[in-house]
Amino acid sequence: MSPEKDISRRDFLKTTGIAAGTLVGGGLIGGLVGYNMPGKGTATLEHGQHGTATEETGSPKAKMFFMNQRDFNILTNATERIFPEDDLGPGAKGLDVPYFIDHQLAGQYGSNSKEYMHGPFGEGAPTQGYQSRLTRAEIFKQGVQKLESEAQNRYKKSFNDLDGKQMDEILTAFQKGEVQMSGVTSALFFTLLRAATLEGAYSDPIYGGNRNMDGWRMKGFPGHQMTYITQIEDPKFQKIEPNSLGSH
Amino acid sequence: MATTLPSVDVVTVGVGWTGGIVAAECSKAGLKVVGLERGQKRGTEDFQAIHDEYRYAIRYDIMQNLSKETITFRNNRNMKALPMRQLGSFLLGEGLGGAGTHWNGMTYRFLPYDFQIKTLTDKHYGPNKLGPDYLLQDWGLTYDELEPYFDKFEKTTGISGDDKNPFSGKRSNPYPTGPMKMTPMLEKFEKAAKNLKLSPYMVPSANVSEVYKNPDGETINACQYCGFCERFGCEYGAKSSAEITVVPTALKTGNFDLRYNANVVEILKQGNKVTGVKYVDTVSGEEFIQPANVVVLTSYVFNNAKLLMVSKIGERYDPATGKGTLGRNYCYQILPGAVGFFDEQFNTFMGAGSLGVSLDDYNGDNFDHSDLDFIHGGNIALTQTGTRPIGSNPAPPDTPAWGPEFKKQSIYYYTRSFGIGAQGASMPHKENYLSLDSVYKDAYGLPLMQLTYNFTDQDRALHKYISARAADIMKEMGAKTVVPNAEITDYNIVPYQTTHNTGGTVMSLKPENGVVNNYLQHWDVENLFAVSAGSFAHNSGYNPTGTLGALAYRCAEGVVKYSKSGGSLV
Ligand SMILES: Cc1cc2nc3c(=O)[nH]c(=O)nc-3n(C[C@H](O)[C@H](O)[C@H](O)COP(=O)(O)OP(=O)(O)OC[C@H]3O[C@@H](n4cnc5c(N)ncnc54)[C@H](O)[C@@H]3O)c2cc1C
Ligand code: SF4
């Protein structure tokens, strides 16, 4: 971007504020996305504009929700067990899935803001679905701490210091609902964790996961393509380089 | 205090497919129409960044905001109903276009058998085929009577299709546009079906195959097979929906006033007529009364029933006594099928919402049920709607749900596996119904709609039989592993199934069997109409909107007639 444009953008923000509706075009929308990311000032706006992180812009890889590194590492290790690195490509960690989940927990997803969260809360049958009084943010926070206390109970070690097999054993216990949690079952926490891991691996990189679109690349999913009208009838499988919504 | 607004001829509650059709036809006929839509304005221009699976397909960005309103659910009367706190089994619409903005567009006509299901079932199999707990009834209108309205809806929406279905009711016209493109996957299915002496045809599609101008002068563009269709709006204006067809048609007349953020909370009644509706402006919080000569409920199955119940119009169904018609005959659909795993790779990620090949050999009464313990059946199809990576992680049986093996298998089979699916018809049962919840409330203080529903023996038998037929086809297609869908037990509101809810405000030939007559006019209140799939006396083995669109045109005709003559239309 030219310095001139940079200045006008900065002036624009100074004089009109971010909520101004008149200049909404592709550029500003990019800017608004950037504005919601960690980092500072105009540089962040440019970061949003280009959709890729550069050295000087600061990285979106920072915690918005988890408050300490231990908890974040537990999340990282647990998701990596669910979706591990292998010869096909990166796992949850390499795809930045933990950052994706962390950022989601800090927003609407974490606060269940589009869901019915009024009481009374009853336990319900499995056919009646999610009935917890807790938000996803609360469930993840408790769940991650429970992964830790379960590790301490079983092995007198931090979850982060366990070997893979031990982690799997604990995750399996969560999956089966065998770990006591408050206001929610460990099985529901595990279901959320597994789903969020896949969401982070395969959502558009604009959300901070699926780093470098490698999740899509492994799977053969081309992401955002405008049209397949000329390929849909082709008898051959089409290998298409993926494209993100952030790359136009 | 509510502000009373100037009176109009017609008010519709909700502006999706049904509201849009009623608004277009009434405003073209010169009536002044107000459309009250609880959601926001939206359209093609808002879908430029729509290829976002996470936002739209997983987090349901353009669907109903449940923090304001949901339903409660239980499997049977002995359970405590609890709120559906998150969307799952079905995806309710909100905003201009309703669920029709993010539908697939498969646009079928129900079978002639459906409209006379009671008469024809009794005739073929005697009066006790299913037993007295099933509340089968004729619809009060035959296929042939509805044919002109089917034709009209197909022309408005430009449906793409071939005319190769031998089981279709009589058609007065071919489909307005030619069929969608054939793909390698679909060809395989077609060939296998033919080998098995079945009768495949292209799914009738509202993702239009070529640029089409409808009789009202609205243009629908050509589908690009972009693979982000089901659960998404179309960035090309190529998926027929109310906001690109009937809504602009209504607005062009100058007779249609469309108000957003307008949540209707009550139908106002005086004596044996309604006088209008009360609504809340969800932005300002103000209350308004919109007087109207005719009120048309077009707010989908649940809210059509709910608004009648909270406004105390009609007798609510009581399963203990069998009395009352409001809330009765709630039906859904069951999903038999079979998944196939191949070593060959397919372009599964390409597709369109209604791209597919289907067959009706096992639908309706198209096959003999003498030795079977169920009636009806389902349309069996292979569709290529575009699978996406978060939602689609197929793995052969016995693969763990996470870890290295899961990753490997789900990545390998993402492009090497697909399912043949059927839409199993659903028969009304005396224990499946809609009522008002006595505990939980919506954001406006009204009780939530309560759903009491479970699968029945009829469903279980049908599911098993049709899954085996789907598996036969999958084997013939050469899949190396074929897995028929697991037998069904209890209905579960968590996993997505279909947004094909029906019943509750049933149409009928006689007042004692339903809520509305065959003009969708309320049996007790002549200036009140209610149209939705809630009008269906049972659910067939197809997607509902082709039949629903026809009923909406029928309803609109009724409203125009009534506005001239008054009185009961039947
Ligand atoms: C993912 C998906 C795929 C589908 N695919 C198909 C398909 O392939 N083929 C098919 O036939 N059908 C399909 N359907 C179903 C189809 O979308 C519906 O049958 C159709 O949209 C119903 O139209 P309607 O007008 O009855 O209701 P809606 O489209 O839901 O419109 C009702 C409107 O009323 C508004 N409303 C509700 N309550 C109030 C109130 N109190 N006050 C004011 N406004 C209110 C809502 O906001 C909404 O906009 C699909 C649905 C979904 C969700
Ligand atoms: S598949 Fe076709 S109709 Fe559907 S969203 Fe894409 S272009 Fe539009």
pLDDT at res. A59? 78
Q: Is B174 exposed, middle or buried (0-12, 13-18, 19+ CB in 10 A)?
A: exposed
Q: What is the pLDDT along chain B (570 residues), one digit of tens a residue?
A: 899 999 999 999 999 999 999 999 999 999 999 999 999 999 999 999 999 999 999 999 999 999 999 999 999 999 999 999 999 999 999 999 999 999 999 999 999 999 999 999 999 999 999 999 999 999 999 999 999 999 999 999 999 999 999 999 999 999 999 999 999 999 999 999 999 999 999 999 999 999 999 999 999 999 999 999 999 999 999 999 999 999 999 999 999 999 999 999 999 999 999 999 999 999 999 999 999 999 999 999 999 999 999 999 999 999 999 999 999 999 999 999 999 999 999 999 999 999 999 999 999 999 999 999 999 999 999 999 999 999 999 999 999 999 999 999 999 999 999 999 999 999 999 999 999 999 999 999 999 999 999 999 999 999 999 999 999 999 999 999 999 999 999 999 999 999 999 999 999 999 999 999 999 999 999 999 999 999 999 999 999 999 999 999 999 999 999 999 999 999
How many other β-carbons are positioned within 10 Å of the β-carbon of residue B509? 16
Answer yes or no: is A123 within a domain.
Answer: no
pLDDT at A31 over 90: no
Residues A46 and A133 in one domain: no
Round to whole Å and give the CA distance between B294 and B289. Answer: 14
Answer yes or no: is A6 within a domain.
Answer: yes
* Ligand 1 and B14: CB distance under 6 A: yes
Give residues with Cβ within 8 angstroms of B399, minimum separation 6. Answer: B405, B406, B409, B410
Query: Which chain B residues in 351-390 lie under 8 Å from chain A, judged by CB atoms?
Result: 351, 355, 388-390
pLDDT at res. A57? 67
pLDDT at res. A95? 98
Query: Phi and psi for B106 in degrees, rounded to 5?
Result: -70, 120
Secondary structure in 3-state letters for B504-566: CCCECCCHHHCCECCCCEECCCCCEEECCHHHCCCECCCCCHHHHHHHHHHHHHHHHHHHHHC
Round to whole Å and give the CA distance between B511 and B182. Answer: 47
Residues A134 and A247 in one domain: yes
Which helix or strand (DSSP H or E) is residue B341 part of? Answer: strand B337-341
Give residues with Cβ within 8 angstroms of B313, minimum separation 6. Answer: B267, B269, B274, B326, B522, B524, B525, B528
Answer yes or no: is A240 within a domain.
Answer: yes
Nearest residue to A78 (alpha-carbon basis) of A13, A144, A134: A144
pLDDT at res. A32? 34
Q: What is the mean pLDDT of residues A95-109?
A: 98
Which domains, ranges and CATH numbers included, belong to chain B?
A: 3-565 (3.50.50.60)
Chain B residues within 8 A of A202 when measuring between CB atoms: 53, 388-390
* Ligand 1 and B485: CB distance under 6 A: no
Which residues, judged by CB distance below 6 Å to any ligand atom, belong to the binding site of ligand 2? B 207, 223-226, 228-229, 232, 234, 236, 238-239, 352-353
B345 — contact with chain A (CB < 8 Å)?
yes
Do A228 and B224 form a contact (C-beta atoms < 8 A)?
Answer: yes
Look up residue B214 and give its two tokens.
């409808």
C-alpha dihedral over B420, B407, B61, A241, to 10 degrees? -90
Q: What is the mean pLDDT of residues A117-139?
A: 96
Residues A67 and A1 in one domain: no
Nearest residue to B41 (alpha-carbon basis) of B104, B92, B101, B103: B101
Q: What is the mean pLDDT of residues A207-216?
A: 98
Residues A110 and A80 in one domain: yes
How many other β-carbons are positioned within 10 Å of the β-carbon of residue B330? 27
Of B74, B86, B389, the CB nearest to A216: B389
Look up residue A165 and give its two tokens.
């097999």
pLDDT at res. A43? 34
Round to whole Å and give the CA distance between A168 and A94. Answer: 19
Is-cis flag, bond preceding A120, omega within 30?
yes
Ligand nearest to the CA of B222: 2
Structural domain tally of chain A? Answer: 2
Chain B residues within 8 A of A194 when measuring between CB atoms: 401-402
Round to whole Å and give the CA distance between A94 and A201. Answer: 9
Tell me the pLDDT band of A56, cut-offs 50, 70 and 90: low
Owner of token pair 């780093």: A211
Nearest residue to B230 (alpha-carbon basis) of B382, B91, B72, B114: B91
Angle at the Cα of B479 (from B477 to B485), degrees rounded to 5? 100
Angle at the Cα of B464 (from B461 to B470), degrees rounded to 5? 140
Q: How far, rounded to the nearest angstrom, does the alpha carbon of residue B387 sit from its chain's CA centroid?
A: 21
Tell me the pLDDT band of A58, cut-offs 50, 70 and 90: confident
C-alpha dihedral over B193, B194, B196, B198, to 10 degrees? 70
- The helix/strand/coil state of B298 is coil
Round to whole Å and give the CA distance between A38 and A82. Answer: 28
Q: Choose the final residue of a domain: A29, A46, A62.
A: A62
Answer yes or no: is A40 within a domain.
Answer: yes
- The helix/strand/coil state of B122 is helix
Residue ranges making up the domain that contains A47: 1-62
Residues A44 and A82 in one domain: no
Give residues with Cβ within 8 angstroms of B308, minimum separation 6. Answer: B267, B297, B314, B326, B505, B515, B530
Chain A residues within 8 A of B389 when measuring between CB atoms: 201-202, 215-216, 219, 221
Query: Which chain B residues in 42-61 lie under 8 Å from chain A, judged by CB atoms?
Result: 49, 51-54, 58-60
pLDDT at res. B1? 84
pLDDT at res. B170? 97
* Interface A:B, Cβ pairs < 8 A: 170
Of B67, B414, B415, the CB nearest to A114: B67
Q: What's the Cα-to-Cα distance from B402 to each of A75, A162, A169, B296, rounded to whole Å?
A: 15, 19, 13, 50
Task: Using most ligand atoms within 8 A of CB, pick from B203, B532, B545 the residue to mutate for ligand 1.
Answer: B545
Query: Which chain B residues in 218-237 lie under 8 Å from chain A, judged by CB atoms?
Result: 222-227
Look up residue B16 and give its two tokens.
């999706």
Catalytic residues of B: 500
Do B216 and B246 form a contact (C-beta atoms < 8 A)?
Answer: yes
Look up residue B392 and give its two tokens.
């689609």
DSSP 8-state secondary structure symbol assigned to residue B411: H
Do B426 and B504 form a contact (C-beta atoms < 8 A)?
Answer: no
Q: Choose the final residue of a domain: A47, A62, A77.
A: A62
Answer yes or no: is A43 within a domain.
Answer: yes
Buried b (16+ CB within 10 A) or exposed e, A124-159: bbebbbbbbebbbbbbbbbbbebbbebbeeeeeeeb
Residues A139 and A171 in one domain: yes
Do B293 and B9 form a contact (C-beta atoms < 8 A)?
Answer: yes
Q: What is the pTM of this model?
A: 0.93
One-letter amino acid identity for A149?
S
How many other β-carbons are positioned within 10 Å of the β-carbon of residue A11? 10
Task: Using most ligand atoms within 8 A of CB, pick from B280, B288, B499, B520 the residue to mutate for ligand 1.
Answer: B499
Residues A75 and A41 in one domain: no
Q: Positive or negative CA dihedral for B396, B398, B401, B405?
A: negative
Q: What's the Cα-to-Cα distance from B183 to each of A236, B110, B344, B346, rounded to whole Å?
A: 10, 26, 14, 10
Task: Give the closest-approach CA distance of B55 to chain A in angstroms.
Answer: 9
Answer yes or no: is A22 within a domain.
Answer: yes
B395 φψ region: left (φ > 0), alpha (ψ -120 to 50), beta (else): beta
Nearest residue to B117 (alpha-carbon basis) of B426, B337, B346: B426
pLDDT at A33 over 90: no
Answer yes or no: is A45 within a domain.
Answer: yes
Residues A83 and A173 in one domain: yes
Q: Choose the final residue of a domain: A62, A85, A102.
A: A62
Task: Give the closest-approach CA distance of A124 to chain B in angstroms.
Answer: 7
B84 — contact with chain A (CB < 8 Å)?
yes
Residues A69 and A165 in one domain: yes
- Long-range interactions of A151-158: CB distance < 8 A, separation 24+: A158/A70
Task: Give the closest-approach CA distance of B64 to chain A in angstroms.
Answer: 8
Nearest residue to B176 (alpha-carbon basis) of B187, B191, B162: B162
Round to whole Å and give the CA distance between B192 and B517. Answer: 44
Look up residue B60 and give its two tokens.
């349901």
Nearest CA to ligand 1 atom 11: B545
Answer yes or no: is A120 within a domain.
Answer: no
How many other β-carbons are positioned within 10 Å of the β-carbon of residue B123? 11
Find which of A123, A217, A219, A243 to mutate to test the B interface (most B CBs within 10 Å of its CB).
A219
Residues A95 and A29 in one domain: no
Query: Phi and psi for B258 in degrees, rounded to 5?
Result: -105, 120
Residues A161 and A92 in one domain: yes
Angle at the Cα of A120 (from A116 to A125), degrees rounded to 5? 80
Look up residue B281 and give its two tokens.
């402006």
Do A205 and A215 form a contact (C-beta atoms < 8 A)?
Answer: no
Nearest residue to B181 (alpha-carbon basis) of B232, B214, B225: B225
Residues A177 and A73 in one domain: yes
- The helix/strand/coil state of A23 is coil
CB distance A235–B84 less than 8 Å?
Answer: no
Look up residue B197 and give its two tokens.
């002496």
pLDDT at A52 over 70: no
Do B390 and B415 form a contact (C-beta atoms < 8 A)?
Answer: no
B416 — contact with chain A (CB < 8 Å)?
no
Kindly calculate the radius of gyration of chain A based on its CA atoms and give it in whole angstroms: 21
Chain A residues within 8 A of B357 when measuring between CB atoms: none
